[in-house]
Amino acid sequence: MMRNLDIEDQVEALHLAHLMSSHGYFFPIDDHVLTVKNDNTYYRFQTPCFWPSRCGEPENTDYAVYLCKRTMQNKQRLELADYEAENLARLQKMFSRKWEFIFMQAEAQAKVDKKRDKLERKVLDSQERAFWDVHRPVPGCVNTTEVDIKKACRMNRHPKTSRPNYAVPGGRISPSVSEADLHTPADSIRHEIDVLRRKLEKRRVKISKVVECYIAYYQQYAEFDAFITSPDTSNPWVSDSTEFWEQEKTMNPREIPQRRVKRWAFSIEELLYDPAGREQFSKFLDKEFSGENLKFWLACQELRGLAMREVNKKVHEIFSEFLAPGAHNPVNVDCHIMELVRRRMENNPTRFVFDEAQVRASSIPLILFLFPAGSLECSASKCLVK
């Protein structure tokens, strides 16, 4: 190193070599402590795929697979040290639920290693061990992969406001104005407002993706647009014929047209917007003993559109029907949400008092889980829910 880097001081060369070794670019063959000594110790260069500059911080699951694989290899040089055995026991307790998967991964890697040449396997074992000596070092050694606490504090520190520089003799504008009054954060607030405005003007979605979504939407609804696809009967809004309305009057209310059911498969909003779809969905949830979820969700949606003078009465009706002890249609929510709803009802309840309970018990994600889109089919006389 003194010859190739033109370093005259031997201590400086040793220090540079120690830094490179502590970061894992080369390592001693027979020692876990990543340092360089001026003796006859043999060192080996690390493969580029294990360089800290080429790979990120490994996960604990990767370390668990590595330690588990070493326990499967009955070799003295691969025996776990005391601190490694403690780490393995702690990881086994941490990943107890998926330890079987970790063991299978370690077993598969061990089988692949057995197929390698003996010398290649020995070199790879030492390189892998040196990699983990960098990221999971021996107790008492410096962990070079940790972020310095001073750098982390500087990164998270808010930028200082710029101080106005007034060329005033004596450093004061007037005896009545203090220096603290001159250092107001108005400039930084204006700068932050400008940044936020630029973010609002910036497009977060590509125009091509937006166009693609619009095209897909219009293609999906083209069949139901009377201006694009002509219906079987003429549209009464653009013609003088009222045949379409007369046909609707004579139709059996229990028979649902197939085109109407097709729209239910588009989204859960289409299903709940249609009164017939909402009725069929309610029957399905009643069979699954979850009908109160839909009723609670619909009641909360109705609450959002009420006038302010009716909100207080409606809130107490919803609470007594779905959330109060001994309610007629009890909804399953946890104690934390229940306590939050009760506190809100004590202080002049608003139309948003049940938001968390609605999300928890009967929101759209729960409805989609119980009833995936596209699971309605229509026959000539009735609709079947799959």
Phi, then psi, of 44 in degrees rounded to 5: -130, 140
**Mean pLDDT in residue range 1-24:** 80
DSSP secondary structure of 60-117: HHHHHHHHHHHHHS--GGGPPPHHHHHHHHHHHHHT-TTHHHHHHHHHHHHHHHHTS-
Q: What is the biggest distance separating any 2 CA atoms in the chain, rounded to whole angstroms?
A: 104
pLDDT one-digit tens code per residue, 313-332: 999 999 999 988 888 888 88
Segment 231-237 shows an average pLDDT of 74
* Interval 126-148 mean pLDDT: 79
Reported as a pLDDT band with limits 50, 70 and 90, residue 333 is confident
Q: By the 8 A CB rule, do 161 and 187 touch? A: yes
Q: How far apart are CA 164 and CA 187, in angstroms?
A: 10
Highest mean pLDDT among 149-153, 180-184, 263-267, 309-313: 309-313
Judging by beta carbons within 10 Å of its beta carbon (0-12, 13-18, 19+), is residue 293 exposed, middle or buried? buried
Q: How far is CA 277 from the centre of its chain?
A: 33
Average model confidence (pLDDT) across the chain: 78
Helix axes 355-362, 291-304, angle to 10 degrees: 150
Mean pLDDT of 188-211: 86
pLDDT above 90 as % of the chain: 6
d(CA 365, CA 361): 10
Q: CA 294 to CA 290: how far, in whole Å?
A: 8
3-class SS of residue 342: helix
Own/partner pairs for 271-277, CB < 8 Å, 24+ apart?
271/371, 271/373, 271/376, 272/298, 277/376
Q: Is the pTM of this model over 0.85?
A: no
Residue 172 banded pLDDT, cuts 50, 70, 90: very low
Token pair of 39, please?
């003796």
CA dist 84 and 137 (Å) reads 10
The conformation of residue 167, written as its DSSP 8-state character, comes to: -
All structural domains of the chain: 2-135 (1.10.1240.60), 290-371 (1.10.167.10)
SS3 for 56? coil
Output the six-digit token pair for 272. Answer: 């709940």
